[in-house]
Amino acid sequence: MRQGTRDALYENVEVGERFGPVELVVDDHKVKTFAFTQDDSNPWCLSGSPFGARIGHAALLANDLLTVYYEAYDRNTVVGLHSEEELWFVSPVRVGERVMLTGRYVDKYVKRGQGYVVLEAEARGEDDRLLVRHRGTEIMRTQPGAVAGGRTAEVVGRRVTAETRDDLAVVTVALPGLEQRRPIAALVKRVTQEQISVYSYCGEYTRNIHTDLEVAQRAGLRLPIMQGQMQACYLSELATSFFGAPWFTTGRLKLKFLAPVEAGETLTIAGAVLGELDDADGRRLEIEVWTRRSDGTMCAAGWASALIEPDYVA
């Protein structure tokens, strides 16, 4: 278990500070635990896959990369909110493989009285191939309850509209020539406290605003909230279903987290086709993605893309 001793405070973060290498094994337990937390029993991860072996979910290592700083900081002192996330998927991780995680803080700044930190990290396989890259922004100087009813990230520049065309049928597979704003087959997830707690390391005796009611209420929250990274994993599942195998090798996900999600909430994970882009390696299809609470509040929003092949069949 990685466990640092420094308090996880904005003031203690040093730009340029490096973490790792942290070694972990992607064993059967890790894959099945992730499948439980996400309610995602992808057969490629539980038996065989198009890559010739059993593999982990595309976003299996996303939380390990997000929390690689736990190597130096005390995880039980973290009281913050994830505001932005980017993931680049380069190669699937094989079940049974030993992987190495490294990361570093690349920026920190104060905006409207809240302290933001930016962490970049990557995971490599035992043959040193790049598996996945992460860039995340977290608010480390905040009182979560003070922003629980509003947004955790300011929406500037390009915006997600979540608009779909009612005259077009739902599409389930990424193909060339799809109409703009065609809706993508959605997922519905009921977020349980058990799943949130396991995802947020309760098995490693972590007490935070995700795993512990007392800590959450002390931070001004009514109930524990799920990590934003869980929503990123939900959206990666949506993209996996839509893009298929290319998501594991060419997938890109860029998100802003807009509102927290309490335990017990039901989320709809959805998307719409935007269009095709030229890529050095072929044609890339971009989609708009988002999550909504049952009351209609948008909680996460962004864009996903992957290469498509003219003759690809999921």
Which of 167, 101, 111 minimizes the C-alpha distance to 139?
111
Domain end: 110, 144, 178, which one? Answer: 144
Do residues 184 and 252 both lie within one domain? yes
**Nearest CA to 129 among 106, 98, 103, 105?**
98
Residues 34 and 94 in one domain: yes
Mean pLDDT for 83-102 is: 97
- Give the structural domain span for 140: 1-144
In-domain check, residue 244: yes
Say what the pTM is: 0.92
Domain boundary among 77, 111, 144: 144
In a domain? residue 205 = no
Dump pLDDT digits (tens) for 140-196. Answer: 866 555 555 555 555 557 899 999 999 999 999 999 999 999 999 999 999 999 999
**Which pairing describes strands 18-25 and 98-111: parallel, antiparallel, or unpaired?**
antiparallel
Residue where one domain finishes, among candidates 111, 144, 177: 144
Closest CA to 92 of 63, 66, 61: 61
Residue 258 has a pLDDT of 95
Structural domain includes residue 173: yes
Does residue 200 fall inside a structural domain?
Answer: no
234 and 113 both lie in a single domain: no
Residues with Cβ within 8 Å of 213's Cβ and at least 6 positions away in sequence, in order, are 223, 224
Q: How many whole angstroms separate alpha carbon 13 and alpha carbon 159?
A: 30
Write out pLDDT tens, residues 34-52: 999 999 999 999 888 999 8
**19 and 130 belong to one structural domain:** yes
Residue 232: its H or E element: helix 228-243
Angle between helices 28-38 and 228-243 in degrees, nearest 10: 100
Q: What's the CATH code of the domain at 127?
A: 3.10.129.10
Task: Name every residue whose Cβ is closer than 8 Å to that of residue 260 and which is 6 or more positions away in sequence.
Answer: 81, 144, 147, 148, 152, 221, 225, 226, 299
